[in-house]
Chain A
Amino acid sequence: MGIGAALLLHYSLATPYLLDFWGDGGLIPRELALKDVSDPWIQSVFFYFMAPWQWVAFHAVFLLCCAAFMLGWRTSWIKWVVLVGQISYDYGNPILSYGVDKILACLLFILCLAPIGHALSLDRVRVVRAAKLKNLETVLPPYSSQWAGACTRLMQIQMAVLFFFSAISKLRGDDWWSGDAVWIVFTTGEHYNRFILDVLAPNYWLVNVATYSTILIELAFPFLIWQRQTRPYLLAAAIFLHLQFALLMGLFYFSFVMIMGQMSFVRPEWLARLGSAWKQRMGEMEMIYDGKCGFCVRSMASFLAFDGLGQIKIRDFRANPSPVVSDAQMEKALYLTLPDGRALPGFEAYRYVVPRVPGLWWQVPFFYVPVLSRLFGHPIYNWIAANRSRLSSKRTASA
């Protein structure tokens, strides 16, 4: 998801420069950009394009695929298009390629091999929704496979190798041994930062500390990241290091992608613990719906498919009447009951749930626009609730 978002933003911003940088007659003519490219294994779809519209069409398709990749939609084949696109841009003009493009290609390749799309994705939502359409009470177990584990391990090894070689290549340089490297970085035109130089110049010992700490973290990472006790510290240190790169050197894209790679070291049990803590903090929520209404069941299936943590309990008032909400009330709207005894009807029920269920956060803008959300939300919900029998029968008839 993170890598998809980074790619989408990065290449969206590349759109105005597409033909200038990757086209045939742009700032760097193709024959110049590829003068040293003789290896037949270096391939880019751009090598086969002849007319500008082909670049534009490919770019548009690539951006759509990046968006789909970010959302986890049809990931089984979308991921390959994204990989081909990334490598094509990279090899299409090797002069423009820098560190992050290399890291992205390596991580994307592993993601292509991995069975991604089985969690935190629209693909997963589709699977859960299909299961819930058969029975709303169905709870699918989290996806796990040996191959997924192997691919996670490959990604971890990739990050460890990257850190290791980054550290030992620095150890071959005088700037790093002398402890001056960080000062030199901030005095170059590319990363000049007046604010940080103001801090470092009168406190030069900070330069030494920062230089040696960088090497220390990079060197320790590939060895200590594997141990249960040391992993949290190394992970925190590596993330801190890359946040510094982002904020002080302007390497936002690089740092973000590196942090995404480091996320492969996050243990599933940490996420599970975080999920449980969130669930406990948000409290229990029970949605009461009309089980006889096909439209309501389908809507519930779609809604619950985003509830990855299983925070929402459900009750069909036809089969299992609620002690809190009367049947007469239920005929008018769906209700949400809370442990403190409150019962929220219709639009207010959804509005309460959306910010409390992480999978539904994307709906927050629709439910929380001041004044407008309630102004339009209530009548829309009430109209749907009043016409739910008609909506159900239409769907049944069309099916």
Chain B
Amino acid sequence: MIRTQWRDRLIYLAMSGFVAWHTLAMVLAPAPDNSVIAQSLRGLMQPYLTLFRLDNLWDFFAPTVGKGSQFRYIIEDADGLRHTFVPAEDLSWFHPSYFWFRSLYYAIVDDPELYADSTAALLCRKHASLHPVAVTLLRYDEGDFSPEDHLSGKHPMDPEFVTVNTLKRVECTDS
């Protein structure tokens, strides 16, 4: 009887301890770690937060929404013609690939040094029917777009609202 009582108490204590621990982890994960206390607690909890994928900032669309940037590319064919592609236009909200491809395009425009070559090689293969000679990767940075602009029939991706940056031109080696 006494053993059962103690066992129940111990279980209750362990459960309470875990609830406290996990609550601390949930609060600590997004909290700024400027203070010494936060830093030392984070050091203690980091493996737990990382292993179970709990380390998140919860900063959706924050602190600023920010202007987007769009990935486009131009395929140059053997006849010297240039074909422009806007891959985002092929995506649909209703399929999760929308977000995967978006993330991929963001990775390319944010870090072209890292991703440009592999992406270009892939695009050369994808458009093999055009007999591509080279592919030029572009980043379209979106600018300010006011309600008046919208009311006058303009679109945020019209040339006057975007800045075009060439990320890299890569020769298609297989063609």
Contacts and interface: CB of A to CB of B under 8 A. Distances in A.
Q: Do A and B share a complex? A: yes
Interface of A: 10, 13-14, 17, 21, 27-29, 32, 35, 39, 41-43, 83, 86-87, 90-91, 95-99, 101-103, 105-106, 109-110, 113, 146-147, 150, 153-154, 157-158, 161-162, 165-166, 169-176, 181, 183-185, 187-190, 192, 197-198, 200-202, 204, 250, 252-253
B58 A169 contact: yes
Interface string B53-65: 1101111111111
Contact of B102 (A41, A42, A181, A190): A190
B103 A98 contact: yes
Nearest to B65: A184
B53 A188 contact: no
A133 to B, nearest CB: 31
A41 B46 contact: yes
Contact of A202 (B65, B98, B147): B147
B16 to A, nearest CB: 8
B53 A169 contact: no
A292 to B, nearest CB: 44
Nearest to B145: A187
Given A43-B51, A98-B103, A157-B26, 13 more contacts: A28-B104, A28-B118, A42-B50, A42-B51, A105-B53, A170-B63, A172-B62, A173-B62, A181-B64, A184-B65, A188-B66, A189-B142, A202-B151
Contacts of B65: 173, 175, 181, 184-185, 188
Most buried by B among A91, A101, A113, A166: A166
B147 A201 contact: yes
Contacts of B142: 187-189
Interface residues of B, number: 58
12 contacts: A21-B100, A28-B115, A39-B50, A98-B103, A147-B15, A153-B19, A154-B23, A161-B26, A169-B30, A181-B64, A190-B102, A192-B156
A87 B103 contact: no
Nearest to B97: A17
Nearest to B51: A41
Contact of A96 (B50, B58, B94, B100): B100
A97 B12 CA distance: 37
Contacts of A14: 96-97, 100
B53 A165 contact: no
Contact of A161 (B30, B99, B107, B157): B30
A103 to B, nearest CB: 8
B52 A252 contact: no
B27 interface: yes
B3 interface: no
Contacts of B94: 250, 252
